[in-house]
Chains A and B, each alone.
Chain A
């Protein structure tokens, strides 16, 4: 759940607000490994820090811009301590 009942989400959202990241919360259109993690009762969030990037998973010429990639590392530098210090 993405509300105050999940302290990890509160920490996650706090970092996004601090970095002024705009979020678009959705249900995953396909399926990935987090369904197995959730199935055993562990809350999981799907997040790849790729904005301003065309959706090219499974496509020809899949690419990621280096500046987006490096910005993603900076985002995780804040996110990981936040959720690990809950």
Chain B
């Protein structure tokens, strides 16, 4: 695990996992600062959209060779669900790496891994001197875990989003215990029933 701790891509992941962007009432400032630093390091444009106050939508952009073509959106959410800390072997915002190389943290699967993987992959692609045809927008959105109502749901309806001219998007999937990778190309419709018990 020492080798992993010294790996810069793992270190970046652990640093992001240590930001407790846990529902409810999240202060996203630390995430925004972290992502701004990543953008500067990698050489990506950085923009924050605030459709709803205190609910930043962070977009890092790498302009393609043919910027008029529809762009690619690589989306991830910054928030994570709550924890019952007493039930954890290691503190849930420690990013502890055990001797088997397991990285423990709330958000390690859902889905801070994916956000950092996009960035680390782009870092390497840029270092290899490649330039891509289409523009990439790497978005980090708030509040997915509570329905995305102040995040992606409103953002997709804005002129700012339309101006990004997205043609195709990637977002989270799910872990799989077998050697296959799960791909999702649709979602179930969610119908929630709210039962109000008013008493007598």
Interface residues of A (CB under 8 A from B): 1-2, 8, 16, 21-40, 42-58, 60-67, 69-70, 72-74, 76-77, 79-81, 83-86
Q: Is the CB of A80 within 8 A of B180?
A: no
B34 within 8 A of A: no
Q: Is the interface of A mostly helix, strand, loop or mixed?
A: mixed
Interface residues of B (CB under 8 A from A): 1, 4, 7, 9-10, 13, 64, 72-75, 77, 81, 83-84, 87-90, 92, 97, 100-111, 113-114, 117-118, 120-122, 124-125, 130, 132-136, 141, 144, 147-148, 151-153, 155-157, 161, 166-188, 190
Q: Is the CB of B168 within 8 A of A70?
A: no
Q: Is the CB of B148 within 8 A of A36?
A: yes
Q: Is the CB of A57 within 8 A of B7?
A: no
* Selected contact of B110 from candidates A62, A65, A69, A86, CB within 8 Å: A62
Q: Which chain A residues border B166 with CB–CB below 8 Å?
A: 37, 42
Other A-B contacts than A38-B186, A49-B181, A80-B122, 11 sampled, CB-CB below 8 A, are A26-B182, A30-B188, A33-B171, A34-B172, A36-B153, A46-B172, A47-B173, A49-B114, A50-B173, A60-B87, A84-B135
